[in-house]
Chain A
Amino acid sequence: MNYPPNGSAAPPGTIGAPTVPAVPPQVRPPHAQGPDPAEAARGTAWAEGVDRLRSAATTEPGRLRIIGAVLALLVVAFGAVTAWQMTDRSAAADDVLHSSQPLSADAADIYRSLADANTAASSGFLAGGQEPAETRDRYEKDIRTAAAKLVTAAANSAPDSPSTAAISKLNTLLPQYKGLIERARANNRQGFPLGGAYLRYANETMQKQMLPAAEDLYKKENERLRSDYDSATPYPWAAIGLGVVALGALAWAQRRNYRRTNRVLNHGLVAATAASTVVLLWLVAGHTFARVGLDASYDHGVRSLNVLHDARIASLKARGNENLTLVSRGAETVDVKGVPKDAFDVDFQKQMKTLTTKLGDAAKLADDGTGKRPVQAADANMKVWKDRHRDAREQDDAGNYQGALDKVIGSAQDKPTRECFDNVDKALQTALTHEQAEFQQAATGGRGAMTGLPVGAAVLAVLGAAAAVLGIGRRLSEYR
């Protein structure tokens, strides 16, 4: 209850007297009485070391040596853990910037290109035997993009990862799909309905096998991106904790030194303290800045990018379904509350709903005018699209198939939904480019805040440890 407070001004008479708390924890040999002779021998060696340490601790030089060793060890450990933890984090931040985000964007591109190619192929079919040049070009460009990005994705995935499985599946199916489409075109040109049968087969291959694989790849790459963020952003608590302990130990040693010698400053210990403080401040500030930058790149970049990619894919799927509604002419129906509805039109409505939601989310996430404008443009075009689609369905339901066809793929004076889809796609492309730049900027900033930290921390810690040892050595030399 009335123990004297340990740190408060003690009577000067106690200076030099061996104080118990200064002695390092005395570890008793755990197996001192073990029956095993080998164990006993080890116990003896251990006991001998402890004995020697204990006897050293009874003299001031011995104690100083122990203190010096512990201080140096703490500062070096602090530097080492800092260097290790920050190397990890900055490598993860590097991955976010240069590997996982570009790969996630590539995967989204593969997914989009494939869906777009399929939509272009069905548009070309709707247009008749000679598909329009721009539809053909669009299809060819999509296939090229998908093939090129698949090569990049393959080069960047581990041999037996799930991404690799999806990539090799896509690599097998892409030439098959292309073959089916070419056959469809050749037969279509000769006026054979066989062309349509090939197109259906190609569409089935795309919808049932390729798009799910591409979606899988996209999800896997996004998970990888998320996990890179997760290893780049957490606070390096171990390093921070060790830093605090090291600084505490340095402060305690200096206070002890002051109380025993009445000297205020020990240059070595002060230098060690300064070095450790710099490392700790650098660590906390550098990581906080990096974290802010990376979090911003995630919140304003990656999240927007994901939502925009989702919106773009939804608009593509909606467009594909809109085309297929006319290609299949009610061939497939699904029950909606007991009423049979065209399966492709039901799916179209579903995708449009997704598009609406995603565009709403994108508008909320867009944080500046440049980001908001294209999203608003896409939203406006989507509304027109919905109106025109309703007109097209009315035409078709009224038995005017040609009218419906004109409303979907017709020329400009027909006010076709084709225009709306193209505008939505273009606006989303603009928004994606903008968000990609935002991501790049924020992530580069975040990554930059960690530059030099691991090396700097290591060098400073070594210097600090040396200074601590020198400082203690100077005090020690007074006993010789």
Chain B
Amino acid sequence: MSARRTRISLRGWGGVAAMAVACALTAVFALLLPLTRGAGVDGSTGVGGPGLATGVQARVETCTDPERSLPASGDESGPAVSAIKKRGYLVVGVDQNSYHWGYRDPNSTKKSSELEGFDIDLAHEIARKILGSGDAIRFRAIPTNERIPAVQHGDVDMVVRTMTISCLRLDQVAFSTAYFQTGQQVLAPKKSSITGYDKSLAGKRICTAAGSTAFERLNDDRKAGTLPPGTDISTTVPNQLDCLVRLQLGEVDAVVTDSALAAGQAAQDPTVELKGEPFTKEFYGVAMKRGTDDLVRRVNQVLEDFRKDGGWQSSYDKWLKDGLGAASGPPAPKYK
């Protein structure tokens, strides 16, 4: 009887021991595999498959000035533009949480509770030029990480949503010429010891929007080992503004986002400020589906006119001047 019980308990312990060994082996492999693979690649790219890594690498080599776009044209006979004109309205993916870019003023005294901001002005301008009426438009509020899928699946005709033109994204969507210049910047409480994108971030928790250029940059730097030690970038949220929520609740120590958007956050909370200088140079563009060249050219023409007729400047003065200071005008368009 007791011998049998001993045997059973021994068998039980044997199982536990076997599981422990299995766990240990798995852990060892999991730790070793990335190391061995990392040694094979030059280290500039991440833990992705080798095929993907080389693909990105090749693209980066050939991609200079991603903000170069197709030459502007007022022609409206192409298939994409005709389809929009036939439908009678433009479907635009926008943000409704970016102060002064795309948002809804809850205290608006207007009868209609519409979205407003710099991006919204531009979207209305595009609709006005292509369809003859600025109101021939339907807005879809989309989270940061849904911008590219929304364009690719054709849920929206275009995305006008503080979207940075990047080499990586050029593989997925087509961009108009640049309509705004910005750069990544650190936002932190005024009393914080953080001084900018530097060593003062060591051991701090940083919040970024999922799928944003800010996160891509931080993630790349972490892989390259240039991020200060102990910096935690695991907090990602659907929208950059959700970062300010986390910052106010003390769940993170700093936010990294475009300076244009960071200024909007600082405008909503006087206890936070932009720290240091922008550490990247980026351009916002209108994203459209790849292959809709006629639409890209047409939008470039709208931007061309928007720059020249002072529309850009008056919209800037209305929304952004208070937060970002007087502008030296829109970035000059670059064409392929």
Contacts and interface: CB of A to CB of B under 8 A. Distances in A.
Contacts of A193: 96-99, 103-104, 241, 268
Contacts of A130: 107
Contacts of B106: 125, 128-129, 188-189, 191, 195-196
Interface in B53-111: 89, 96-99, 103-108, 111
Contacts of B89: 399
A331 B142 contact: yes
Interface string B149-164: 0000101000000000
Contacts, number: 84
B113 A128 contact: yes
A293 to B, nearest CB: 51
A405 B245 CA distance: 26
B155 A194 contact: no
A329 interface: yes
B6 interface: no
B250 to A, nearest CB: 12
Interface stretch (A1-9, A197-205, A310-318): A197-205
Residue in A188, A333, A397 with the greatest tally of chain B CB atoms within 10 Å = A333
Residue in B96, B108, B155, B269 with the greatest tally of chain A CB atoms within 10 Å = B96
A330 B104 CA distance: 15
Given A191-B107, A193-B103, A193-B104, A329 B139 contact: yes
A331 B268 CA distance: 22
A328 interface: yes
A201 B251 CA distance: 13
Contact of A194 (B143, B238, B244): B244
A187 B242 contact: no
Contact of A329 (B107, B135, B141, B146): B141
B113 A201 contact: no
Interface string A106-129: 000000000000000000010011
Interface string A325-344: 00011111100000010000
Nearest to A402: B112
Interface in A387-432: 397, 399, 401-402, 405
Nearest to B100: A193
B286 to A, nearest CB: 19
Interface string A157-195: 000000000000000000000000001000111111111
Contacts of B239: 197
A128 B269 CA distance: 20
Interface in B187-238: 238
Given A193-B97, A193-B104, A330-B141, A201 B242 contact: yes
Contact of A401 (B98, B114, B153): B114
Given A329-B139, A333-B155, A192 B113 contact: no
Contact of A340 (B137, B139, B155): B155
B113 A194 contact: no
Contacts of A340: 153, 155
Contacts of A188: 106
A402 B113 contact: yes
A196 B96 contact: yes
A329 B97 contact: no
B140 A200 contact: no
Interface residues of A, number: 31
A66 B167 CA distance: 104
Contacts of B153: 340
A43 to B, nearest CB: 26
A189 B138 CA distance: 27
A160 to B, nearest CB: 26
A200 B244 CA distance: 13
B241 A197 contact: yes
Given A187-B268, A198-B245, A192 B99 contact: yes
Nearest to B97: A193
Contacts of A189: 106-107
B182 interface: no
A402 B113 CA distance: 6
Contact of B111 (A129, A196, A402): A402
A201 B138 CA distance: 26
A416 to B, nearest CB: 15
Contacts of B142: 330-331
A187 B245 CA distance: 11
Interface in B296-325: none
B292 interface: no
Nearest to A398: B138
A345 to B, nearest CB: 13
A413 to B, nearest CB: 15
Contacts of B143: 331-332
Given A128-B106, A197-B244, A402-B113, A329 B98 contact: no
B172 interface: no
B248 interface: yes
Contacts of B138: 397, 399
B96 A329 contact: yes
A401 B140 CA distance: 11
Given A193-B268, A196-B97, A399-B138, 17 more contacts: A128-B106, A128-B107, A191-B105, A191-B107, A193-B104, A194-B99, A194-B269, A329-B139, A330-B142, A331-B142, A331-B143, A331-B238, A332-B143, A340-B155, A399-B135, A401-B139, A405-B113
23 contacts: A183-B248, A188-B106, A191-B105, A192-B268, A193-B97, A193-B99, A193-B103, A193-B268, A196-B106, A196-B241, A197-B241, A329-B96, A331-B141, A331-B142, A331-B143, A331-B146, A331-B238, A333-B146, A340-B153, A340-B155, A399-B135, A401-B139, A402-B112
